[in-house]
Structure 1
Amino acid sequence: MAETFVLVHGAWHGAWCWGAVINQLEKLGDHAYAVDLPGHGMNRADRSKVTLESYVDSVAEFIERQDLKNVVLAGHSLGGLTIPGVAAKIPARIKRVVWVTALVALDGQPIVDPATSPLAALAESQPEKSIPIEMMGKEFLDGLSNDMAPAVKEYVLSAVGPQPIGPMIAAVPMAPYFATGIPSSYLVCEDDKTPVAGAPNWHPHFSSRLKNPTLKFVKSGHEVMFTHPVECARALHELARGE
């Protein structure tokens, strides 16, 4: 039976980043869609007004508009903040939620403290309260692209757009998602070197915050959609089937 995937991008990215993975999922006989979150890609929302709630609403509304059912909802990186809200909003349409080397928040807490984080202060000084990826610094960019060919890195960095701070400083409600009982999975990218405050490793630091998640491991850095799309799609396909 074909699986139905809705793929949510992370910070700075857009639906475009999932192109190769969608192609591979379709080769496996599945259906896959990617959504531009507000302020990203072709979604021209005012970045200064973008919130985590608007992220959640945009994905939920897409799923409802397309009348999708038994959806495997997958989020990469910062997309991990959006997907639990979507699942809690429309649980009857969601089969499984997959964090793809993604952030998992603690219930009621933001990923970035708006009062103390230099990132929040930096965003406030920028147009549209958004941060260009270049301002994240060399250590972050090197970690993000540690296994990317130079040409791929150049393409990705040329395609990304500024990241609104709103969703990053929002309290993330996890309890409503856990209350749904929808199964969780975590796709571990074993070579992910992207630095995150308080997280020496994305797994198990973030994956351990989920309740009994199934795990799949891919030998990849953070940008798995570009460097290992075949393996990423295969892992998502297997997770969708409970394998």
Structure 2
Amino acid sequence: MSDRTTILLVHGAWHGAWCWGPVRERLEAKGWDVVAIDLPTVHAADKAELGMADDAAAVAEAIASIEGGVTVVAHSYGGVPTTQGALDPSVHHIVYIAAFALDEGETLLASVGGVEPDWWHIEGPLATAGDESHPPRELFFGDLDPAQAAWASAQLASQSARAFREPLTRVAWRDTPSTYVITEQDAIFPVVAQEALAARSGSEAHRLATSHSPFLSQPDAVVDIIERAARV
């Protein structure tokens, strides 16, 4: 359809393309072309050796493989490699969902205060999220029903810690329109920080009364926002 871009979905830290399932199903049912990628710092066999630049290269490669215009949707950490990698002129719009829309020279680690939060667990080159004191269902999935939250928590994987320490060298939101979805019941990403990133990036802000994972808890609302951004 000439008035529609292809939608590229980029997951956050410890997640995978699986997390977009409800959103992808709804978009495809409405006739949208959708691509969801697995970032290499979470899913590659050699992920311990990789960093944010490798994820950014994966985003750029996915964009280059799509014919026509692209709308990139990025969640949380996924906003970092998207900001670095979504520089192709074919990118029509970026939708940041509770995402780190950082600036040149910034890192995710510095943006959270320069010290790993106590729910990050660094073991050598890899990081995992959550423990008995900080269950993933409370960190990421607080507004899902228990069964859905347990399923999603079981899908989380380790990630290269290097990805959180590599600085951005390029910034896509300077030249590309963007939307920012603020998650108002987020247990790990303060609303005031999301508001500041949305304002600095010049994004059109939307607010959802959800946890850090609205693509699972309120997929219809997320689809509505993506559709508005993705139309040419």
Quote how far apart the aligned CAs of 1:173 are: 3.0
Structure 2 matches for 1:71-110, cutoff 5 A? Answer: 71-88=70-87, 91-110=88-107
| Structure 1: gaps (5+ residues) | none
Contact 1:3-1:237 at 8 Å conserved across structures: no
Contact 1:131-1:164 at 8 Å conserved across structures: yes
1:208 paired with 2:211, answer no
Residue 112 of structure 1 corresponds to 109
Contact 2:184-2:208 at 8 Å conserved across structures: yes
Residue 177 of structure 1 corresponds to 172
Paired amino acid for 2:96: W
1:186 paired with 2:180, answer yes
| Structure 2: gaps (5+ residues) | none
1-structure distance, mates of 2:79, 2:149: 23
* Gap change, CA 1:195 and 1:49, over 3 Å in 2: same
Number of residue pairs aligned between Structure 1 and Structure 2: 228
What TM-score results when the alignment is normalised by the length of structure 1? 0.83
- Percentage identity across aligned positions? 22
* Gap change, CA 1:84 and 1:116, over 3 Å in 2: closer
* Gap change, CA 1:153 and 1:25, over 3 Å in 2: same
2-structure distance, mates of 1:132, 1:178: 29
Quote how far apart the aligned CAs of 1:119 are: 5.4
Residue 66 of structure 2 corresponds to 67
Range 66-75 or range 112-121, more displaced: 112-121
Residue 17 of structure 1 corresponds to 19
2-structure distance, mates of 1:45, 1:85: 23
Residue 34 of structure 1 corresponds to 36
Residue 148 of structure 2 corresponds to 152
1-structure distance, mates of 2:156, 2:104: 29
Paired amino acid for 1:233: V
Quote how far apart the aligned CAs of 1:69 are: 2.2
Contact 1:99-1:185 at 8 Å conserved across structures: yes
2-structure distance, mates of 1:217, 1:7: 19
Quote how far apart the aligned CAs of 1:6 are: 0.2
Calculate the aligned-residue CA RMSD, in Å.
2.6
Paired amino acid for 1:58: A
